Structure 1
Amino acid sequence: MKNMKSKLLIFSTLVLVIALVLGISGCKKEEEKTTLIMGTEASFPPFEFTDENNEPIGFDVDLARAVAEEMGLELEVRDQPFDGLIGALQANQIDIVAAGMTITPERQETVAFSNPYYNAKQSVIVRAGENLVTSMEDLANLNIAVQMGTTGAAKAEEIKGTADDTSLKQYEKVNEAFMELTNGRVDAIIIDVPVGASYMKQFEGLEVVEAIDFEDEQFGIAVRKDNEELLNDVNTALDNIMSSGKYDELIQKWFGQ
């Protein structure tokens, strides 16, 4: 009887040891991360858009890939609605957001941002020759189109608050707003300067309202607030990319500057 108990004890001990070894091995495999998952919304050229094969390309994609390479990782890009990117980040579905996302106090309450990597500014685009807009006040009584969840949308909401009859139309993709403008269903679009310039090459008969000037904004790469290690790695990678000249190459490639 004692011999049987001893055998059972030895067997149980072996099973426990094997389970612990497999568990440790599994943890190591999980720790050996090989891919950096980037969330973006690919209708925001030249920062992110899709090529003829429907693959995401653009300045943010190339920059994030360079960041991943600095970290010894491959980059995986996931295209999804802009206003859902922070939620996807918080749900651990993606590792970073690189999507022409402006660093704002409101967003900093829920995510952490890298050091700024691009200085941006909003613009107002209208149909050429109509002279509907010459000042910020004019926008209050017009139909304004924006992309959901953007700082352009936040600015339009501020303007909307100055007049009861303002109509604010929010779209998931920027190209939808431009189609509505060219078709006469909205009067103006508030959009980042480079993005507006890119779409104006596709949609004819539009112009920028030069008389309206917005404050400067800065884009950053967003990570989860509790992932300080990744934030530090991203910032180190950005520093290396900027000091090596790679950043200037990407600026020249995508903006011609």
Structure 2
Amino acid sequence: MKSLYKGFMIGLVMLLLTACGSGDGDKEYIIASDNGYPPFEWAEASGTYVGIDVDIMNAIAEDQGIKIKMDFIGFTGAVASLKSGQADAVLAGMTITDERLKVYDFSDPYYDVSVTMAVAIGSDITSYEDLRGKRVAIKTSTNGADFAESIKEQYGFEVVYFDDSATMYTEVVSGNAVACFEDAPVMEYSIAKNGVQLVTTGVSEIPSQYGFAVMKGENAELLEKFNAGLANIKANGKYQEIVDKYTK
């Protein structure tokens, strides 16, 4: 009887260990992202999301043999989802900053960007000095917003926040704001590919960097896999192929 009981317990332990192992292997990571930030992520007419971030994440997942599900819920929603534990990470053109490093662990940088100012076609705004006493549109929790906030006192302008780039652009085109600040590749893509009726002023700041973010002290394994996959797709040329696909 004892031998039967011992055999049963050994079998039960082995079954539990096997189940736990297969569960880890089947884990699907939820990656929260923006829903309208071309060329990094946006929906085509079919509803399919495409862009630099989308292709990079898929390429890294394939390289590292991990399962992912991208959740396109807007930048503010993506950050909230990560903080609440509904997402494992954010990949959404998220700038690495000292302030964010207090809250998140970031991957190695995967894209360098600069902030640019854009105005309506025909506008007489050509410099920051021209913004004095006027209204400037910015997108919540973005590099452009951070930069605008950092200079608004010096140049004496008011900022108004929007949750998405399209609404921010409309605010400037309609004349309700005289300018907006946006990451240069996003602004350039919107003007060249999407017909946004704005022009850049040529004012561009020192580059910053985008990173893949997880909550501080959490998901270290996922972060390591992202870094390893990023290094691999840069080495084999896949990374540059993705960037060229959306920027040339």
TM-score range, shorter chain: 0.7 to 0.9
Distance 1:137 1:159 in 2: 11
Inter-CA distance 23–141: structure 2 relative to 1 (3 Å threshold): farther
Match of 2:159 in 1: 168
Distance 1:218 1:50 in 2: 24
Distance 1:173 1:137 in 2: 26
Please say which of residues 79-88 and 101-110 is displaced more in the overlay.
79-88
Which one-letter code corresponds to 1:161 in the other structure?
Answer: E
For the Cα contact (< 8 Å) 2:32–2:90, is it kept in 1?
yes
Aligned length: 245
Inter-CA distance 67–109: structure 2 relative to 1 (3 Å threshold): same
TM-score by length of 1: 0.85
Matched, 1:252 2:244: yes
Q: C-alpha deviations, 1:106-132, integer Å up to 9, x for none?
A: 111111111111110011110122212
1:145-164 paired onto structure 2 within 5 Å: 145-162=137-154
Match of 1:104 in 2: 97
Match of 1:27 in 2: 20
Inter-CA distance 217–25: structure 2 relative to 1 (3 Å threshold): same
Inter-CA distance 205–224: structure 2 relative to 1 (3 Å threshold): closer
Distance 1:38 1:183 in 2: 35
Question: How many angstroms does 1:77 deviate by?
Answer: 1.1
Which one-letter code corresponds to 2:96 in the other structure?
Answer: I
Question: How many angstroms does 1:29 deviate by?
Answer: 4.1
- Find 2:224's aligned residue among 224, 232, 236: 232
SS in 2 for 1:101: coil
Distance 1:220 1:209 in 2: 27
Which one-letter code corresponds to 2:34 in the other structure?
Answer: E
Inter-CA distance 97–41: structure 2 relative to 1 (3 Å threshold): same
Q: Which runs of 5+ in 1 are unaligned?
A: 1-5
1:101-140 paired onto structure 2 within 5 Å: 101-132=94-125, 134-140=126-132
For the Cα contact (< 8 Å) 2:128–2:155, is it kept in 1?
no
Inter-CA distance 99–140: structure 2 relative to 1 (3 Å threshold): farther
For the Cα contact (< 8 Å) 1:36–1:68, is it kept in 2?
no
Q: C-alpha deviations, 1:50-107, integer Å up to 9, x for none?
A: 0112222101000000111112123311012312433322333222211111111111
- Find 1:215's aligned residue among 201, 206, 211: 206
Inter-CA distance 21–91: structure 2 relative to 1 (3 Å threshold): farther
For the Cα contact (< 8 Å) 1:178–1:203, is it kept in 2?
no
Q: Which runs of 5+ in 2 are unaligned?
A: none
Which one-letter code corresponds to 1:126 in the other structure?
Answer: V
TM-score by length of 2: 0.88
Q: C-alpha deviations, 1:135-190, integer Å up to 9, x for none?
A: 223334321111111111111112223366x3211111101111111111111010
Match of 1:77 in 2: 70
Question: How many angstroms does 1:26 deviate by?
Answer: 4.9
Distance 1:42 1:67 in 2: 20
For the Cα contact (< 8 Å) 1:40–1:97, is it kept in 2?
yes
Inter-CA distance 203–167: structure 2 relative to 1 (3 Å threshold): farther
Inter-CA distance 54–213: structure 2 relative to 1 (3 Å threshold): same
Q: Taking every aligned residue pair, what percent have the same amino acid on both sides?
A: 30
Calculate the aligned-residue CA RMSD, in Å: 2.6
Distance 1:216 1:154 in 2: 13
Match of 2:41 in 1: 48
Which one-letter code corresponds to 1:169 in the other structure?
Answer: V
SS in 1 for 2:37: coil
